[in-house]
Chain A
Amino acid sequence: MRPQGQLAAFSRHLTDVGLYVEAQASPGLAPTQLILVQAVDWSRLGIAARAWGCRWVAGWGEDMGETIRVNTCFEKAGAYLVARTAVPRAKPVLWSHIDSYPGADRPERHIRDMLGVVFSGHPDKRRWTRHQAWKDSEFPLRRDFPAAGRPQAQTPADHQYNFLLAQGSGVYEIPVGPVHAGIIEPGHFRFQAVGETVLRLEERLGYTHKGIEKIAEGRDADGLARLAGRVSGDSTVAHAWAACMAMEKAAGLEVPPRAIWLRALMCERERVANHVGDIGAMLNDIAFAFGFYQFARLREEWQRVSRAAFGHRFMMDCIVPGGVAVNLDQHFIAAMRDEARTLRKQIGKLMAIINDLPSVADRVRGTGILKPEYAQALGCMGYVGRASGMNFDVRRDAPYSPYDKLTVKVPQHHYGDVNARARTRLEEITASFDLIEGLLVGLPAGPIRVTWKPPVAGTEGLGLIEGWRGEILSFVRFDADGRIARFFPRDPSWTTWPALELLIHDNIVPDFPVCNKSVNGSYSGHDL
C-alpha cells in the first residue's frame, strides 16, 4: 500500500467506527491529508489513531473568531494526516489525547496557556509555557490579545509552580537553574535524589518564551523566514527551510532546483557542525578534555568554510522565500568535497583513540538509557529516537526534494544509552558526508531564487524537514496582503525533553550533564 493509501484507509476506518469525518482539499498541506472531525469525537480519534499505529506528531490551535480551531498531525509509515476540529470560543473544551499519546501532554498544556482551550481528562492542570508574564485569564494567541501585552513594570519570578515532591528518609531535592553553570540556555531542573542516585527529575521550561508565534502574525514572508531562522539558532537552516517550504506550498511557488539543492547542502552542513560540536561537548562532560578540544577544533574549521561559502557561520538568513540568498561559487564544489573527505578521516582517527579508552566507555555505556518503549510512547524524533529503536527519518520516509533523488542512510540503535546516541550521531555525520558528496556532484545549474508571490488570504501550508535534531513541522496560514495569520513551528525538542526525565532515572546526579548533552534539546525551540 502506498503511504498515503494507509491514511486514506485510516479515515475510512474512522467513518466505519462511527466518527463523522470530512476530507478537505488543502493543496498547501499536500501530500499531507486534511480531515475535519467533530469536537465530540476528538477522544475517539486519538484512540483510533493509536490503535491504527499512528504517531502523534504535533498539535496546535488557532483563534478563528467565533471558534478556536485545534489541529493534530499524525504520521504513519511516512504519510501525514492533519485532523482538525473547532470548539466555540465561549466554551473551548476538548478531550485530551494524553491517554493515547503521552507525548501530547506538554503541547496540550501549551495550547491551553496560549489559547485557553481546556483539555478535559488531562491530568496535569499546571501551567506550562506561561510563567508570570501574563494572567491565567489571558491568552496571548487570541486575536484580541495585543502583541505588546499588558506587562507589569517588573515580571516576578514564577516561584509557586507545584513540583511533585518525593518524601522519605534520605530523600533530598536539588533545584538547578534557570541560570545554569555552563554557557547554555536557561531552564529549571528539579531533582529528587537519594545519595547520588536520581529518583526523579522534573523539568520546568518556558524561560526563553519570546512570543514567537504571536510576533509572527502580520509579518511578510521575508520577515517570517528571518524569525523562523531564530526559533533555535543552532537549527537556523532547518527551521528557515521548513517555514519557507510551508509558505511556498501555500503560495504554490515552484522553487528552482539549484536553490533546493543548496538548501539541502546547508542543512547537511548544519547537521555535521552540530553533531561534531556535541560529541566534543559530551566528551567534555565526562571530563575528557582532549576529545573536547579536538572536536571543537573540527567544528570551528567546518564553520569557517560555511562562512566563506555562504557568508555566515551558521548560514543564518541564507534560506529565503522562493530560494536561497547566496549562490555557491564553483570553486567550493571541489573544496567542500575535499573538506568532507578530510573531516571523515580526522574523525575516524580521533574515534580510534577514543574507542580505545575504557574510562570513556565506562562513563557512556549503560548511562542514561531511554527504553525503546518509552521512545515509542513519546514519539521521540531524531537521534534520540533512533538510538532507542525508532526508525524514522523524514528525508527517507517522506522524502522531499532533493532527498527523493539521493540515498539517505539512517542509522538505528536499540540500547538507548548515551553511547548509542553518540554512535547514532557519528553515523549520521558519515551519512551526511555521503549526501554532501552527492549534493555537490549533482548540483544543478540555474537560478537560485524566484520572485515571491503572496498567496490569497486563508491559504495554508505545511513544511516538514529533517533537521539535525529530527523532524521539524512548520505550519503557516496567510492573511490578506501576504501577511502571516498563524505560524507554528514544532521543534523536535518537544519530543525529547520528556525523554530526558525518563532516561535520567536511577542514574547518578554527576552523570546528568552528559545525559542532557546526549539529548541536547533546544530550550528556545521548545519555549517559542
Chain B
Amino acid sequence: MLRILGKIQRLGIVTEPLPKLHEPALTEIGEQLKALIGEQFSGSLAIREVDAGSCNGCELEIQALNNPYYSIERFGVHFVASPRHADMLLVTGPVSRHMEEALRRTYAATPDPKLVIAVGACGANGGEFGASYASCGAVANVIPVDAIIRGCPPTPLDLLRSILEAIGKRSTANPSNKR
C-alpha cells in the first residue's frame, strides 16, 4: 500500500490543461462548461457510448478520455452503463444493419432531452464502409443526430473539445434547458 501511495506521490498529476486549439482557450471553454454542466445537469453529464458497428478504433480513443492525461471526469462528464442513466449518446461506427434495431432501442431508452453525437468518419457518413447490404452508413440515417465529431478515429482531444462544444451549443440553442 505504501508503495502504491509512494508511486502516486512521485508521479504527481499528469492531467493536462487543455491546449489552445481554438479561441477562446479550451481551458476556458472547459471551465464555462463545467459551470453549464453544473447548472443544467446537476454537475454531472452522463454519456452512454454505443458502438453501432465500428472497427473499434473509435472506442480506443473514447476510452482514452478516461486516462489521466485527458481525465474527462474533471468536467463532470462520465460514462454510464445504461442508456436510462444517460444525457448523451456517443455513437460510433457506420451503423451495421445488425445493430440498427439495438441502436434505435438504445435511443428510445435514453430519457429526453437527449443529445446524440455521431463519432468518427464512419459515424459521420459511413467512412470507409459506406452504406451497403450490411451497413446503414451514417448514424443520422438511423437516429437524429445533434453533432458530429470527424476523424478516423478522432483524437481524444478532438473528442473532448467537441463533446464540450456540443453541450455549449445545446445550452445556447435552448437556454431554458434545465434539469
A-side residues, CB < 8 A to B, are 131-134, 140, 145-151, 154-158, 178-179, 181-186, 206-212, 214-215, 226-227, 230-234, 236, 277, 290, 293-294, 296-297, 299-300, 303, 313-314, 316, 349-350, 352-353, 356, 522-524, 527
Q: In the assembly, what is the distance between CA of A249 and CA of B33, in Å? A: 54
Contact check, A210 vs B135: say whether CB atoms are below 8 A apart: yes
CB-nearest residue of chain B relative to A158?
Answer: B98
Q: In the assembly, what is the distance between CA of A158 and CA of B94, in Å? A: 19
Known: A208-B98, A290-B8. A183 touches B79 (CB 8 A): yes
Known: A133-B97, A181-B81, A296-B66. A211 touches B129 (CB 8 A): yes
Contact check, A149 vs B132: say whether CB atoms are below 8 A apart: yes
The 10 A-B pairs with the shortest beta carbon distances in the complex, nearest first, are: A149-B133, A233-B57, A211-B134, A181-B81, A133-B97, A296-B67, A157-B101, A233-B55, A155-B97, A230-B55
Residue among A131, A186, A314, A316 with most chain B CB within 10 A: A186
Q: In the assembly, what is the distance between CA of A350 and CA of B62, in Å? A: 25
Known: A294-B7, A353-B3. A206 touches B81 (CB 8 A): no
Q: In the assembly, what is the distance between CA of A145 and CA of B134, in Å? A: 12
Q: B98 contacts which chain A residues (CB < 8 A)?
A: 131-133, 155, 158, 206-209, 527
B-side residues, CB < 8 A to A, are 3-4, 7-8, 14, 49-64, 66-69, 79, 81-83, 93-94, 96-102, 104-106, 127-136, 152-153, 155
Shortest C-beta distance, A187 to chain B (Å), equals 10
Given A151-B97, A290-B7, A303-B64, 11 more pairs with CB closer than 8 A: A132-B97, A133-B97, A140-B133, A150-B133, A186-B52, A208-B99, A209-B96, A209-B97, A211-B133, A297-B14, A353-B4
Q: A231 contacts which chain B residues (CB < 8 A)?
A: 55
Contact check, A230 vs B134: say whether CB atoms are below 8 A apart: no
Contact check, B152 vs A316: say whether CB atoms are below 8 A apart: yes
Contact check, A226 vs B128: say whether CB atoms are below 8 A apart: yes
Known: A234-B60, A297-B14. A146 touches B133 (CB 8 A): yes
Q: In the assembly, what is the distance between CA of A154 and CA of B143, in Å? A: 12
Contact check, B131 vs A185: say whether CB atoms are below 8 A apart: no
Residue among B7, B52, B53, B66 with most chain A CB within 10 A: B53
Contact check, B129 vs A178: say whether CB atoms are below 8 A apart: no
Shortest C-beta distance, A189 to chain B (Å), equals 14
Q: A349 contacts which chain B residues (CB < 8 A)?
A: 7
Q: A227 contacts which chain B residues (CB < 8 A)?
A: 128
Q: B49 contacts which chain A residues (CB < 8 A)?
A: 183
Contact check, A297 vs B69: say whether CB atoms are below 8 A apart: yes
Q: A290 contacts which chain B residues (CB < 8 A)?
A: 4, 7-8
Contact check, A210 vs B102: say whether CB atoms are below 8 A apart: no
CB-nearest residue of chain B relative to A230?
Answer: B55
Shortest C-beta distance, B58 to chain A (Å), equals 7
Q: In the assembly, what is the distance between CA of A100 and CA of B70, in Å? A: 50
Residue among A154, A178, A314 with most chain B CB within 10 A: A178
Identify 9 residue pairs between A and B in the complex whose beta-carbon atoms are under 8 Å apart, listed by A's number. A140-B133, A146-B133, A149-B133, A182-B79, A208-B51, A211-B129, A212-B129, A231-B55, A290-B7
CB-nearest residue of chain B relative to A301?
Answer: B69
Q: A132 contacts which chain B residues (CB < 8 A)?
A: 97-98
Q: In the assembly, what is the distance between CA of A277 and CA of B59, in Å? A: 13
Q: In the assembly, what is the distance between CA of A134 and CA of B135, in Å? A: 12
CB-nearest residue of chain A relative to B93?
Answer: A208
Residue among B50, B61, B99 with most chain A CB within 10 A: B99
Q: A178 contacts which chain B residues (CB < 8 A)?
A: 99, 102
Q: B8 contacts which chain A residues (CB < 8 A)?
A: 290
Q: In the assembly, what is the distance between CA of A374 and CA of B105, in Å? A: 38
Contact check, B60 vs A157: say whether CB atoms are below 8 A apart: no
Q: In the assembly, what is the distance between CA of A296 and CA of B153, in Å? A: 18
Contact check, A210 vs B53: say whether CB atoms are below 8 A apart: yes
CB-nearest residue of chain B relative to A208?
Answer: B53
Residue among B8, B68, B97 with most chain A CB within 10 A: B97
Shortest C-beta distance, B155 to chain A (Å), equals 7
Contact check, A233 vs B56: say whether CB atoms are below 8 A apart: yes
Known: A184-B59, A214-B133. A155 touches B68 (CB 8 A): no
Residue among B8, B50, B102, B134 with most chain A CB within 10 A: B134
Contact check, B155 vs A179: say whether CB atoms are below 8 A apart: no
Q: In the assembly, what is the distance between CA of A132 and CA of B134, in Å? A: 10
Q: In the assembly, what is the distance between CA of A297 and CA of B104, in Å? A: 35
Known: A140-B133, A215-B130. A210 touches B57 (CB 8 A): no
Contact check, B133 vs A151: say whether CB atoms are below 8 A apart: yes
Contact check, A232 vs B56: say whether CB atoms are below 8 A apart: yes
Residue among A145, A277, A296 with most chain B CB within 10 A: A296
Other-chain contact of A184, B51, B104, B133, B134 (Cβ < 8 Å): B51
Contact check, B4 vs A236: say whether CB atoms are below 8 A apart: no
Q: B97 contacts which chain A residues (CB < 8 A)?
A: 131-133, 151, 155, 209
Residue among B52, B67, B98 with most chain A CB within 10 A: B98
Contact check, A293 vs B68: say whether CB atoms are below 8 A apart: yes
Known: A297-B69, A316-B152. A210 touches B96 (CB 8 A): yes
Q: In the assembly, what is the distance between CA of A158 and CA of B132, in Å? A: 19
Contact check, A297 vs B68: say whether CB atoms are below 8 A apart: yes
Known: A233-B56, A233-B60, A314-B57. A148 touches B101 (CB 8 A): no
Shortest C-beta distance, A350 to chain B (Å), equals 8
Known: A186-B51, A207-B98, A524-B56. A145 touches B129 (CB 8 A): no
Shortest C-beta distance, B57 to chain A (Å), equals 3
Shortest C-beta distance, A202 to chain B (Å), equals 17
Other-chain contact of B132, A148, A313, A316, A353 (Cβ < 8 Å): A148
Contact check, A293 vs B57: say whether CB atoms are below 8 A apart: no
Known: A184-B59, A314-B57, A316-B57. A147 touches B133 (CB 8 A): yes
Other-chain contact of B99, A151, A207, A314 (Cβ < 8 Å): A207
CB-nearest residue of chain A relative to B67?
Answer: A296
Shortest C-beta distance, B117 to chain A (Å), equals 14
Contact check, A293 vs B62: say whether CB atoms are below 8 A apart: no
Q: A157 contacts which chain B residues (CB < 8 A)?
A: 101-102, 105
Contact check, B102 vs A186: say whether CB atoms are below 8 A apart: yes
Contact check, B50 vs A179: say whether CB atoms are below 8 A apart: yes
Contact check, A215 vs B132: say whether CB atoms are below 8 A apart: yes
Q: In the assembly, what is the distance between CA of A349 and CA of B3, in Å? A: 10
Contact check, B58 vs A134: say whether CB atoms are below 8 A apart: no
CB-nearest residue of chain B relative to A273?
Answer: B60
Residue among B7, B55, B83, B133 with most chain A CB within 10 A: B55
Q: In the assembly, what is the distance between CA of A350 and CA of B49, in Å? A: 30
